[in-house]
């Protein structure tokens, strides 16, 4: 009995020290599972499908294809009993990345033209509707000065998601965008 207690204590201590995400092959946290505590470019060897996810700690981005490609889904601590809960289109998750903690301000410059050209607008907070705030929907380039952000394809944080981290993005395809269309923008706050 003391062995099981020691293992449970060790596991709880480990979970507090590291960010964890657990993938399950079946809905409602059933079937084969895989625990992950760091980024993984190819999850296919660990499971063939993913129908539920439990985020034990931290913020994560999961990707539909290997090497952080395809549809992206932002997940924070919580339970996702089926793929529709994370706005997924299917049971395909092939890579994941932990989003580093950022404490402090958020600052983002968005541009109406490629190569950081054209009119520039600055954001320091969430924007539920890009069109209502700036009267346009297309972002061709951006410069993330501080913090981590999510671009959403549609207003009010819906549609395809794109993780944007500090640095310059001179063209929309550099953040994985299929087009320059961005409907809303949200800061990732720990």
Can you give the residue ranges of every domain in the chain? 2-99, 107-187
Position 152 pLDDT exceeds 60:
yes
Burial 38-67 (b: 16+ CB within 10 A, else e): eebeebeeebeebbbbbbbbbbbbbbbeee
pLDDT at 134 exceeding the cut of 90? yes
Fold classified for 107-187 = Gamma-B Crystallin; domain 1 (2.60.20)
Residue 9 pLDDT grade (very low, low, confident, very high; cuts 50, 70, 90): very low
In this prediction the pTM is 0.85
Q: Do 2-99 and 107-187 have matching folds?
A: yes
Outline where DSSP puts E strands in 27-155.
Answer: 30-36, 52-55, 59-65, 69-75, 78-80, 95-99, 107-113, 117-123, 141-146, 149-154
Are the beta carbons of 51 and 25 closer than 8 angstroms? yes
Per-residue pLDDT at 17 exceeds 50: yes
Residues 6+ apart with CB under 8 A from 90: 64, 83
Please report which confidence band the pLDDT of residue 18 belongs to, taking 50, 70 and 90 as the band edges: confident
Instruction: State the average pLDDT for the chain.
Output: 92
Q: Give pLDDT, residue 101.
A: 87
What's the CATH code, domain 2-99? 2.60.20.10
The single-letter DSSP state of residue 101 is: P
At residue 5, the pLDDT reads 52
Confidence band of 40 (pLDDT split at 50, 70, 90)? very high
């Amino acid at each position: 009995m003391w062995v099981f207690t020691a293992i449970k204590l060790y596991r709880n201590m480990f979970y507090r020290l590291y960010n964890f995400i657990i993938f399950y092959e079946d809905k409602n946290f059933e079937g084969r599972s895989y625990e992950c505590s760091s980024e993984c470019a190819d999850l296919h060897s660990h499971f063939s499908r993913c129908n539920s996810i439990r985020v034990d700690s931290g913020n994560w981005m999961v990707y539909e294809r290997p090497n952080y490609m395809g549809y992206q889904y932002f997940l924070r601590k919580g339970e996702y009993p089926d793929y529709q809960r994370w706005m997924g289109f299917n049971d395909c998750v092939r890579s994941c990345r932990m989003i580093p903690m950022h404490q402090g301000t958020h600052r983002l410059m968005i541009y109406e033209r490629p190569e950081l050209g054209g009119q520039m607008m600055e954001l320091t907070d969430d924007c539920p509707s890009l069109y209502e705030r700036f009267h346009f929907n297309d972002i061709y380039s951006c410069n993330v000065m501080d913090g981590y952000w999510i671009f959403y394809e549609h207003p009010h944080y819906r549609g395809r998601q794109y993780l944007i981290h500090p640095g310059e993005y001179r063209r929309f395809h550099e953040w994985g965008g299929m087009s320059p269309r961005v409907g809303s923008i949200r800061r990732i706050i720990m």
